[in-house]
Chains A and B, each alone.
Chain A
């Protein structure tokens, strides 16, 4: 049976946010194909994990529960995934474009001798006619991603060396519960039978994972600054406005590179993708690498001295002026008019 597989990441017995997004994206593909959605979930102490996975419409869970599988190490996870994928021969396999997915997926693609498209932002199903073979291939994965510094969007296909694999960026796909009581079949993997000593040669001796206190993804209002803000000091205006409105402050890559703001607040292709109800772009010219990560905001205000800034083209309000001049005025008039 041709199916859609999702590799799920588990953190502290919880299915990672990205994996929930992927399960939803995978479900939409599976529905278009009329095929089942299957999840690979590897970790330790996962007795109750099915409750978290199944509601996304997962028909079957391949569960590997073993203390050697957590925290993530490439080789044991790769060996188990290889075994499953060789046996099940799915049509499509999805991974998060995270430090785990981008480590594991290429290793598997190499082992299975198949194609892998990195950092997709759109997934779809479609056909492709191969001129050379005079043959139409039906129901292929369209793995669509920004390429070449973000100046183009490329649709990548793979018609002959399956499975078709893709990694997907975090925050891009919409999470959707199909049914809280969706029933998934659980297939327990015999881990002992698969893992060999050479899968365990790499050892983790220390690990520090910090939960970031910055939550751009959930913020309803984001005030983001670019190089045009001018200085780290000027970013204070952004923080003042953000505190007033109950938002978060973000930055473009140029602002991060200039040292105006921390890396963990970077928005865009190499940072976080956000969908707030209000996005204020202060001194951000709007290179596609940045807009790719914020263009789905419900309302965009662009503050820029340059009337030709690309950001202005997607903005609902364009204010031509200097950030250090405009934002204090916004603060002033908000205080005056807010009830």
Chain B
């Protein structure tokens, strides 16, 4: 089996399980600065699948591609710690405010720069939007087949890959030719942990912009001169030759008209204790009004 070139699409997401009240801006967009961030959980499954294929086919290259603000460089470092060979950041203020259509356009411009490739893997969906759209949107723009909700890659030959998909009511096994795009379901194996050796090796990996920050000390710059692999490539609008009309807000057809916080309404509820008398009274009422019985 020939080695494959795999691109893993990974997103840094706000940890929606820990949403504070200041998380939304008045215009309804997310105030990402106010939230702790994590590696999107499904994307970690995609990374694991890529690394698993690399274990099975020596020489396979795994590249993590992320799009986001500077702090998303954490995603690239995390990828390195767990076993990725390379990482690319797509980062430029002008990409900001993108919906899934503009995001897929931007990612595809980056992917095209990395072509040729055999496989693109991404999580099924990201927890900050749960849309599950970007994978299929990229596949369409790249004009390649998509295999969504992948739980397991069963086998491969030089020309095709066989995978098991997890559907709502069952499973399906499909074969697709290379190149193709797969979105990975959360029922696939969880990602391996960081590897201590790699953590040591890539601890100081930085983007150029990160290095330019004032707090960077001299030694870190020298280290990057000596070990160029530590410098994470960073692509902006011009690097990927993106059309300004197709990125950011301008390239995003969907707009937030309004946002409402959820306030649960309370009609008068009957508050009961767990005493026998209270519970018997309630049961009798429910029987009388034919809710039960």
Contacts and interface: CB of A to CB of B under 8 A. Distances in A.
Q: Do A and B come from one complex?
A: yes
Interface string B168-191: 111111111100100000000000
A305 B254 CA distance: 43
B19 A314 contact: no
B99 interface: yes
A212 B170 CA distance: 9
Interface of A: 71, 74-75, 78, 98-99, 102-111, 113-119, 128, 142-143, 146-161, 201-212, 221, 245, 270, 277-278, 286, 288, 291, 295, 298-299, 301-302, 307, 310, 312-322, 325-326, 329-330, 333-334, 336-339
Nearest to A166: B254
Pick the 7 closest A-B CB pairs, nearest first: A321-B274, A115-B253, A149-B16, A161-B253, A106-B133, A110-B137, A110-B140
Given A149-B127, A203-B175, A337-B284, A116 B254 contact: yes
A107 B146 CA distance: 9
B137 A109 contact: yes
Interface string B14-46: 001101000110001010000000000000000
B241 interface: no
B276 A119 contact: no
Nearest to A301: B282
Contacts of B101: 109-110, 113-116
B146 A155 contact: no
A148 B172 contact: no
Contacts, number: 240
Judged by DSSP, the binding face of B is mixed
Contact of A314 (B129, B257, B265, B293): B265
B238 interface: no
Contacts of A211: 169
Contacts of A212: 169
A107 B136 contact: yes
A55 B47 CA distance: 47
Contact of A102 (B132, B264, B292): B132
B267 A118 contact: no
* Residue among B17, B130, B266, B291 with the highest chain A CB neighbour number at 10 A: B130
A330 B283 contact: yes
